[in-house]
Every structure is written in structure tokens, then in C-alpha cells.
Amino acid sequence: MSLATDFIVIGSGVAGLRAAIALAEKGVRVTVLTKDKASESNTEYAQGGVAVVLAEDDDAGLHEEDTLVAGAGLCDASAVETLVTEGTRYVKQLIDWGTEFDREGGKLLFTQEAAHSRRRILHAHGDSTGAEFVRSLIARAGAEPLIYLTPFATTESFIVSDGRCVGVRFLDPILRAPREIVGRAVIACTGGAGQLYLHTTNPSVATGDGMSMAYLAGAKIADIEFVQFHPTALSLENAPRFLLSEAMRGEGGILRNKYGERFMPRYDERAEMAPRDIVARSIILEMRKTGTRTAFLDMTALDAAFLKHRFPKIYETCLAYGLDITKDLLPVSPASHYFMGGVRTDLWGRSSLPGLYAAGEVTCTGVHGANRLASNSLLEGLVFGARAGEAAFEDSQNIDAAAFTFKAANPDSSPNGIVSTAVRKRVKRTMWERVGILRDRESLERAVAEFDQILASGLGTASRNFVTLAKLVATAALWREESRGGHFRTDFAEPKDAFRVHSIQQIGEALTTESVDT
């Protein structure tokens, strides 16, 4: 027997929680399904902060311009304008709800990060902004009696009836058996897909399920070739690829090679403050040049007390691995971090599949273009999560979920909500080696062939979702014969006007394009 609710939200990061709150405020039931515990998401791991126009010397026009420049000609202007203008209101609302951003003398403390022209980044507890977002939003959601959080519920596929998304198939966290839940609309806030890669800053839950589920259900996927690799992940044997925040360079950190030489000025006049894609490629090139597996982040010129206060979580984590950020050079190398592409949506979170909405990293709203500006991701989740919730409610007031018909899953079928170890290892290595920071035709063609071979072997649902998304990334990267933002082709090293379009992939159809909203 299927479960029923008014609205289904998948994911409990900033986008999912904000969407759920927007719906609950309308007086409707909202069931939030999340793969792990409610607080486990990419949001929780966001160290850098949230970019927002609140400082006296800042304005929305400057924030918009910085975002457009970072996006390398692929941002949709209307989406960027929505982000920067509405972001201020939603962050102020968060503060009213009890979010504790860092202050100095009672005033909000703003910091600067790469490619921002103003100090507009708000932080919480130094380097734990995402965790504070989740804490305050979970507290706010907990005050809404119509929000039902269901942790440890792994979603497998969307349910489509008569061309409309009407629900979700998931693994019941208690019975570990397949179940269905239906509602007036579904909002996917499932986050990114960093786990497609061998080296990533993302948590284990970031496997891109929402993107592949949406594609297999018939929704459009856009710009999935654009993957942002964070330049500075801690690179130690037997240690996780812990993120060393962009803000460390924003505060004066220097990148050095194995000889102790500062190298970034040789690659870009903005040096350490260049956009992430440039810094990541520069580190890779410098490592190849010096025959090493790491570069080094040097924070030792900064005051030790300041560093401990500004980056408490990073300080403690590095210390646990025998490194003192106030004294030691920190070994770093790039790791997959953020997907600019995803489920194609309009400015209200509507996908091309009726009944399916999406917000946050799972989407391609056109905000990030080819390269996300630092600290715009939390803001995007906040703004578009709220808008998706509002639109889902307004669009479906006359929808009767009880009238939907669909074929139920076999309750006796074995659960397959986990990507098999063999498939995971094979995909992650192929993606890192052939669809990584530096790409070329031969490597991408071999990756596509590899993924086709895996898909032909017969897979469980979770493994199929994982490999499907990997193939979508490789296919779009192979098609885009240029270099732009987070996508770099060594055989087509310059951007081309002909490719200043969004790539669109839809099941059963050849790759098409959409023009950029300028």
C-alpha cells in the first residue's frame, strides 16, 4: 500500500528544508525524505560562507557582475538577478529565525573570497557556516507540525503517471523494503554528485541520485559537463579529502610548490584570488611540472591567534592529522566539489516534467553558468528552495493525489539502494582519470564506452543511477569542443562562441542546446 502526503521533498540540506518550510507555512503536509540523518548533506560541510549584499559598500549590481564574470558567459542573467536581489531578504529572514553569523562589535562580519569585488561573505562560527544553516533550518522546520522528516530513506526513482511526476519510490528505513509515496508534487533537493570522482570533498551521500532519477523519468538535464574542482583539499595518505576553505586564500594564504616557490602569479594576475577553475588547473600543471602529487597552502605569515579563531574546525581537523596551520605548509590538491549543471529548471524550480520541482545543487537554474562564484551555493539553495516550495503549492492546488494510478513496486523485491562496490570503484576511477580537470576527445570517448559497457551488464537501481549520471557528464563533455569555466579540453583550449549555449540531455533524444538568457 502506498503512502500519501500533500508534498514530497527529497533532501534535508538548505534547499530542501527551505522548500519544506515554504510549503508547511501554506498549511499542507510535507514529507521530507533524506538518505542519511536529517543534518547530513553538502550544506553541512559548507565552510566558506554565504555571499549576500548587506554591507554598506556593496550592492546587487556588483554581486551580479561578479557572478556573471565567474560564470564565463554561460549564466542566465535573469537567474543571477533573482539570486542577488532576493538573497538579501532570505538571509535577513534566516537571521530573524536565529541563525548566528559571526559579528564584530555587534555588527555582521564580512570577509572576502576569490573573484568577489567586495567583502560580502557572511560566516558562522568561523568555518562552519553550512552546519549553522542546517541547525537553524532544522529548528525552524521542527516548529512546523506539518513537516515530517524521514531519515535513512534512500530514494530510487520517481513515479510518473500520465506524464506527471506524482511520487517517489524509496527504501523504507525500517523495513528495508521498497515503498511508494505519492503527493501533489515532488521537490528534488538531493544535492550534488561529487562521489562520482575518486577524490572529492563531498560526503558519501552525494551520489547524484536526483539528477539521474530526473533524467530517467524524462526531465531535461543541462550543463552537466561543468564540474567544479576545489583547488585546495587536504592531501594526505589515510586522510579524507577535507576541504581547506577558499577563505584561507581570501585571508592571505599563499600557494607554493615543493621548492617553496609561490607559483600562482605565473598562471594568472589575480594569483591565489583567481576563480577556482583557474587555480585548480594551475595546481595540476604545477604538480606535473615538479613531478609531485601535491602543492602546499602556506598560512604561516598570518597571526596564529587569528587563524585559530577564524578557522577553528580546519585548525582542529588538521591538528588531528599532525599539521598545525599556524606553522606548517599544508599539502593540498584539487578534488571534485560542486556541479554547476543538473536538472534544468525555471526561476521557480519547475523542471520540464510536470509535477517535478527542484532546487539547490541538483539543478541548473543558470545561476552558476560554467563556474560557480564562491559562496553562492548556500544562497542559491535558500532563494530557490523557497521559490520552488511556493510554486509547487500554487501550481497544484487543484491536483488530487488520490486519483493517481501507477504500477506498485514488488514488496518482495530485494532492496538495492546501495551502489555496488565494484561499480563505484570502476566509475570513480574512470571519471577521475578520463572526465576530470583536464579532458580530451580520446579519454572522453573511452569513458563513454566504459559506462555503456557497465550499463549493459545489468545493474541494481542505485548502481544504474550512478553510472547513468557518469555517462551524462562524459557525453556532454565530449560534445563541448571548447574550454569554458569548469570544463577544460586540452584539445580545444579556448572558448568558442558557437558553444555559448546550454547543453540539454533528455532520455531517448540526442543532445540539444538552449540559448543563454543574456
Are residues 235 and 331 located together in one domain of the fold? yes
Which residue, 335, 370, 399, sits at the end of a domain? 335
Where is 356: in which H helix or E strand? strand 356-358
Choice among 276, 310, 344, 350 that is catalytic: 276
Tell me the C-alpha to C-alpha distance, in Å, between residue 84 and each of 67, 251, 365, 375.
9, 24, 14, 12
> How many residues would you count in the chain?
518
- Would you say residue 289 lies in a domain? yes
Residue 272 lies in a domain: yes
Pick from 282, 305, 335: which residue ends a domain? Answer: 335
> Is the Cβ–Cβ distance between 35 and 41 less than 8 Å?
no
Q: Taking each helix axis from N to C terminus, what angle separates 129-142 and 377-395, rounded to the nearest 10 degrees?
A: 30
**C-alpha cell recorded at residue 284:** 595540476
- CB burial string 302-325: b at 16+ within 10 A, e below: beeeebbebbebbbebbeeeebeb
C-alpha cell at 478: 565530449
Name the β-bridge partners of 200. Answer: 336
Strand order in the sheet with 110-111: 50-51, 121-122, 110-111
- 137 assigned to some structural domain: no
Per-residue H/E/C for 237-290: CCCCCCECCHHHHHCCCEEECCCCCECHHHHCCCHHHCCHHHHHHHHHHHHHHH
User: What is the span of the domain harbouring residue 487?
Assistant: 416-515
Q: Would residue 267 count as lying in a domain?
A: yes
Residue 342 grid coordinates? 543538473
Residue segments in the chain with a per-residue pLDDT below the cut of 50: 412
Examine the domain organization and report whether 420 and 326 are in the same domain: no
Residue 310 lies in a domain: yes
Residue 224 lies in a domain: no
Contact in structure between 47 and 120 (CB atoms under 8 Å): no
**pLDDT digit string, tens, across residues 372-383:** 998 999 999 999
Give the strand order in the sheet containing 147-150: 147-150, 30-33, 7-10, 185-188, 356-358
Q: What pLDDT, on the 0 to 100 scale, is given for residue 319?
A: 96
Question: What pLDDT was estimated at residue 402?
Answer: 76
Check: CB of residue 345 under 8 Å from CB of residue 364.
yes
Rounded Cα gap, residues 339 and 370, in angstroms = 10
What is the tally of structural domains in the chain? 2
Question: Is 330 part of any domain?
Answer: yes
Q: Can 372 be counted among the known catalytic residues?
A: no
Residues 421, 328, single domain; the answer is no
- Taking alpha carbons only, the member of 15, 90, 85 closest to residue 46 is 15
Q: Assign residue 458 the CATH number of its domain.
A: 1.20.58.100
DSSP string covering 404-427: ---PPP-TTSPP--S--HHHHHHH
Amino acid at 111: T
Distances in Å between the Cα of 203 and the Cα atoms of 15, 191, 200, 242, 425 are 17, 11, 8, 10, 16
What is the identity of the amino acid at 152?
F
CA 272 to chain centre: 23
- Phi/psi region, residue 284 (left: phi>0; alpha: psi -120 to 50; beta: rest), is alpha
Rounded CA separation 168/191 (Å): 16
CATH number where 315 lies: 3.90.700.10
Residue 208 belongs to some domain of the structure: no
3-state class of 196 per DSSP?
helix
Asked if 200 contacts 184 with a C-beta cutoff of 8 angstroms, the reply is no
* Residue at a domain's end among 273, 300, 335: 335
- pLDDT for position 44: 56
The beta-strand segments (E) located in 371-507 are 501-505
Cell numbers for 451: 559506462
Res 115: pLDDT = 79
For the stretch 239-256, pLDDT in tens is: 888 889 888 998 999 999
Orientation angle between helical segments 14-24 and 377-395, nearest 10 degrees: 30
Contact 6, 401 (CB under 8 A): yes
Structure confidence at residue 47 (pLDDT): 60
